[in-house]
């Protein structure tokens, strides 16, 4: 009983049962919980959860958190069921089921011409987020510096800090969201252990060009700096552009953890399966963390993906699929007072609202949800100093009618 209570102090402290029957235990536990020194004292609930909760509370159309509101492929669901019925219901190997690692290796070779060895260089994880956590934790030691490019997905800095590392923030240049490579080069020194990249870039929709790759290669060449490359949106890139994966460039691949997501590719964000590609020594260290973080991922889903991903058309057609949604959303918004910024990849569209309001993006996002019934992400939440450019991020991974209804509301403002 006591052990249960200690394991769940917040639940028990909130519960009427505990207050009615165990006041003494509760007093003692309050003292225990008071003594916890937070490792992340300033951290708040992630903006993606905050905005989704606000959207639900006010019954607003949720274009904030990035997930499709249409379903995945019925064939993929049938495959999961098939593998469940065939008895694939126990632990998978820690690194992932071998058929899936083999299919991933084939895909990466097909896409980027890179060879990763399934037994030693590919790890299946609980979403790309787990790979990010494990990769950073595997290599960052106390006082190591880590370059984070803002606006930055909010899963990076806290993990660096948990490991005693020091985030060194650089900002993409507004409004193009390009990297200033001189500034980047100046930020790197002998203490720089890691650079975290995220392309196609969430939230801005920026992508890396060949010139960017040339700058990056030339700068890191003289260093021992490693790269964590979050490529969750690798297949969502528009207007005929090519995704410059770190895997495509051997001199960068040799120092990179390349992290990808099945959820973004197959409309299954809730299944939480992703993977990490890295040379053997890096994968070995990452797996030491992964084996005690989750040990292994959902077996029947891995088996189903292994069979399903043989069909290359689905991921090769993803750019066209989402480009059509981007263009539909943009044309629906043409008569609004929002101004679109370029969206070259991902399923997010940045819209400038400076003609409508001078409010901070946080205040405007809140009011948009509560008063106008559309939720979006305020990017200031993705800057350590809350930089506010009067833009909001809208997710267009939505059904036609959802985008139409949202645009109708937005055009009225
Ligand atoms: N990656 C998604 C986004 O950017 C969801 C993030 C989350 O909910 N943690 O919206």
DSSP 166-198: EEEEEEPBTTTTB--HHHHHHH--TTEEEEEEE
Q: Ligand 1 pocket test: pick from 49, 63, 66 the residue with the most ligand atoms within 8 Å of its Cβ.
A: 66
Q: What is the pLDDT of residue 29?
A: 61
Q: What is the pLDDT of residue 5?
A: 38
Q: Is 51 in the same domain as 113?
A: no
Q: For residue 377, give the ligand 1 atom closest to its CA.
A: 10
Closest CA to 197 of 184, 210, 186: 184
Domain boundary among 293, 311, 329: 311
Q: Ligand 1 pocket test: pick from 43, 44, 48 the residue with the most ligand atoms within 8 Å of its Cβ.
A: 48
In this structure, the residue with its CA closest to atom 4 of ligand 1 is 66
Q: For residue 52, give the ligand 1 atom closest to its CA.
A: 8
Two structure tokens written together for 207: 């992508």
Closest CA to 282 of 348, 211, 229, 208: 229
The CB of 48 under 6 Å from ligand 1? The reply is yes
Q: What is the pLDDT of residue 3?
A: 41
* Per-residue model confidence as pLDDT tens digits over 346-369: 999 999 999 999 999 999 999 999
Give the mean pLDDT of the chain: 94
* Per-residue model confidence as pLDDT tens digits over 260-296: 999 999 999 999 999 999 999 999 999 999 999 999 9
Tell me which DSSP letter residue 25 carries: H
Q: How many domains does the chain fold into?
A: 2
Closest CA to 132 of 116, 148, 120: 148
CATH code assigned at 279: 3.40.640.10
Residues 241, 243, 246: CA angle, nearest 5 degrees: 150
Q: Is residue 30 part of a domain?
A: no
Q: Is 248 in the same domain as 202?
A: yes
Binned at pLDDT 50, 70 and 90, residue 165 comes out as: very high
Q: Mean pLDDT across the stretch 109-129?
A: 98
Q: Is residue 153 part of a domain?
A: yes
Q: What is the pLDDT of residue 55?
A: 98
* Per-residue model confidence as pLDDT tens digits over 324-346: 999 999 999 999 999 999 999 99
Q: For residue 153, give the ligand 1 atom closest to its CA.
A: 4
Burial 84-97 (b: 16+ CB within 10 A, else e): eeeebeeebbebbb
The CB of 204 under 6 Å from ligand 1? The reply is no
CB 381 within 8 A of CB 154: yes
Q: What is the pLDDT of residue 18?
A: 45
Q: Mean pLDDT across the stretch 233-254?
A: 98
| Ligand 1: centre distance to CA 120 (Å) | 29
Residue 278 to residue 131: CA distance in whole angstroms: 11
Q: Is 338 in the same domain as 193?
A: no
What is the span of the domain harbouring residue 335? 47-66+316-411
Residue 2 has pLDDT above 70, yes or no: no
Any residues with CB less than 8 A from the CB of 213 and at least 6 apart, and which?
244, 249, 252
Q: Is 195 in the same domain as 332?
A: no
Q: Is 387 in the same domain as 283?
A: no
pTM for this predicted structure: 0.92
Q: How many of the other CB atoms lie within 10 Å of CB of 203?
A: 26
DSSP 257-321: EEEEEHHHHHT-GGG--EEEE--HHHHHHHHHHHHHHTSS--HHHHHHHHHHTT-HHHHHTHHHH
Residue 259 to residue 246: CA distance in whole angstroms: 10
Burial 107-145 (b: 16+ CB within 10 A, else e): ebeebbebebebebbbbbbbbbbbbbbbbbbbbbeeebb
CB 277 within 8 A of CB 258: yes
Domain boundary among 311, 342, 374: 311
* Per-residue model confidence as pLDDT tens digits over 22-81: 556 556 666 666 678 899 998 999 999 999 999 999 999 999 999 999 999 999 999 999
Q: Is 192 in the same domain as 122?
A: yes
Share of the chain above pLDDT 70, in %: 92
In this structure, the residue with its CA closest to atom 5 of ligand 1 is 66
The CB of 321 under 6 Å from ligand 1? The reply is no
Q: What is the pLDDT of residue 28?
A: 61
Residue 86 has pLDDT above 90, yes or no: yes
Q: Is residue 23 part of a domain?
A: no
Is the four-CA dihedral 217, 219, 225, 231 of positive or negative sign? negative
The CB of 46 under 6 Å from ligand 1? The reply is yes
Q: Mean pLDDT across the stretch 156-182?
A: 98
CATH code assigned at 388: 3.90.1150.10
Closest CA to 283 of 142, 134, 126: 134
* Per-residue model confidence as pLDDT tens digits over 183-221: 999 999 999 999 999 999 999 999 999 999 999 999 999
Burial 42-62 (b: 16+ CB within 10 A, else e): eeeeebbebbbebbeeeebbb
Q: What is the pLDDT of residue 9?
A: 42
Residue 120 CA, chain-centre distance (Å), reads 24
Q: Is 106 in the same domain as 191?
A: yes
Q: Is residue 4 part of a domain?
A: no
Domain boundary among 311, 340, 370: 311
Residue 11 has pLDDT above 60, yes or no: no
Q: How many of the other CB atoms lie within 10 Å of CB of 287?
A: 19
């Amino acid at each position: 009983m006591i052990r249960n209570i200690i394991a769940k102090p917040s639940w028990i402290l909130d519960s009427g049962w505990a207050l009615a029957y165990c006041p003494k235990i509760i007093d003692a536990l309050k003292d225990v919980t008071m003594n916890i020194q937070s490792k992340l004292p300033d951290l708040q609930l992630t903006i993606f959860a905050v905005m989704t909760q606000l959207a639900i509370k006010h019954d607003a159309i949720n274009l904030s958190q990035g997930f499709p509101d249409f379903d995945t492929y019925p064939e993929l669901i049938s495959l999961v069921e098939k593998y469940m019925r065939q008895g694939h219901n126990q632990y998978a190997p820690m690194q992932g089921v071998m058929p899936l690692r083999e299919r991933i290796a084939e895909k990466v070779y097909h896409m980027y011409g890179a060879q990763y060895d399934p037994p030693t260089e590919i790890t299946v994880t609980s979403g790309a987020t787990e790979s990010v956590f494990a990769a950073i934790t595997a290599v960052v030691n106390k006082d190591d510096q880590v370059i984070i490019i803002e606006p930055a997905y909010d899963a990076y800095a806290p993990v660096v800090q948990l490991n005693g590392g020091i985030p060194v923030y650089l900002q993409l240049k507004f409004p193009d969201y390009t990297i200033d490579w001189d500034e980047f080069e100046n930020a790197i020194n002998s203490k720089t252990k890691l650079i975290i990249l995220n392309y196609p870039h969430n939230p801005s929709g920026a992508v890396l060009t060949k010139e960017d790759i040339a700058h990056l290669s030339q700068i890191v060449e003289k260093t021992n700096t490693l790269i964590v490359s979050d490529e969750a949106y690798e297949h969502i890139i528009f207007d005929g552009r090519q995704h410059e994966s770190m895997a495509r460039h051997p001199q960068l691949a040799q120092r990179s953890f390349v992290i990808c997501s099945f959820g973004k590719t197959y409309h299954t964000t809730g299944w939480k399966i992703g993977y990490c590609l890295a040379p053997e020594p890096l994968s070995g260290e990452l797996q030491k963390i992964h084996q005690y973080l989750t040990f292994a991922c959902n077996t029947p889903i891995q088996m189903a993906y292994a069979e399903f991903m043989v069909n290359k058309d689905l991921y090769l057609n993803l750019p066209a699929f989402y480009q059509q949604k981007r263009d539909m959303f943009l044309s629906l918004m043409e008569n609004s007072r929002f101004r679109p910024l370029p969206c070259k990849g991902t399923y997010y569209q940045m819209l400038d609202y400076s003609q409508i309001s001078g409010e901070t993006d946080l205040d405007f996002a809140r009011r948009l949800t509560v008063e106008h019934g559309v939720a979006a992400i305020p990017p200031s939440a993705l800057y350590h100093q809350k930089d506010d450019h009067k833009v909001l991020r809208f997710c267009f991974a939505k059904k036609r009618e959802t985008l139409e209804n949202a645009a109708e509301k937005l055009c009225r403002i």
